Amino acid sequence: MILYNVPGRTVVNMEPATTIRIARECPNVMAIKEATDNMDQVMDLLYEKPESLELVAGDDALALPIISMGACGVISVIANAYPYEFSKMVHATMEGRMDEARKYHYLLLPIMHTLLKMGNPSGIKAVLHVKGLIQHVFRLPVHPVSQDKFNEIVETVAITEKSIV
């Protein structure tokens, strides 16, 4: 089982002490997806967690620093649209090739920031549509992004695509 700490969606933050207690009392809990921007909390959790608990980054834009601190990976949104580039960033970070990791991180940062404003899954579905990978079809309760947001996605995808060599 993977715990999800996503305070931006749940409006509740799971404190490290709570996560650690759950991990110790529930042997089926193998990992936590930590999607907080509180880096002190991430460091505390990585420092104090039992060996049996893995920490997985849960925010694409923070994956590089969180993995560099000791997380075992990331549960990603942007990897759906840019799997090669994001995978290169993750592997370079894990292998300590930080110049390469930063290169891919900053290449994808504008689209990661754009997606953060759009909401999930509507934003990533729009990106995938702009890239020609899926149709722009939604089922309730999911709705497409507004036309203004869609235009911003089109613009950011174009910039990102031009930056990829």
Q: Which residues pair with 5 in a beta bridge?
A: 34
Q: What is the pLDDT at residue 22? A: 96
User: pLDDT tens across 118-154, in order?
Assistant: 888 999 999 999 999 999 899 999 899 999 999 999 9
Assess whether 93 and 164 both reside in one domain. yes
Assess whether 89 and 70 both reside in one domain. no
109 CB-contact burial (10 Å; exposed 0-12 / middle 13-18 / buried 19+):
middle
Assess whether 61 and 136 both reside in one domain. no
Assess whether 84 and 134 both reside in one domain. yes
Residue 90's φ and ψ, nearest 5 degrees, are -65, -50
User: pLDDT tens across 54-108, in order?
Assistant: 999 999 999 999 999 999 999 999 999 999 999 999 999 999 999 999 999 999 9
Reported as a pLDDT band with limits 50, 70 and 90, residue 18 is very high
The DSSP element (H or E) to which 31 belongs, if any, is strand 31-34
Give the domain-ending residue among 23, 53, 75: 75
Q: What is the pLDDT at residue 102? A: 98
Give the domain-ending residue among 75, 90, 108: 75
Assess whether 28 and 62 both reside in one domain. yes
Assess whether 55 and 91 both reside in one domain. no
Assess whether 144 and 84 both reside in one domain. yes
Assess whether 92 and 161 both reside in one domain. yes
Contact 98, 79 (CB under 8 A): no
- Domain limits at 98? 77-165
Q: Which residues are known to be catalytic?
A: 4, 33
pTM of the model: 0.91
Assess whether 160 and 86 both reside in one domain. yes
Assess whether 3 and 50 both reside in one domain. yes
Q: What is the pLDDT at residue 9? A: 85
Q: How far is CA 11 from CA 5, 89, 146, 163, in A?
A: 10, 29, 24, 36
Q: What is the pLDDT at residue 119? A: 84
Number of domains in the chain: 2
Tokens standing for residue 25: 């009392």
Give the domain-ending residue among 38, 53, 75: 75
Assess whether 42 and 81 both reside in one domain. no
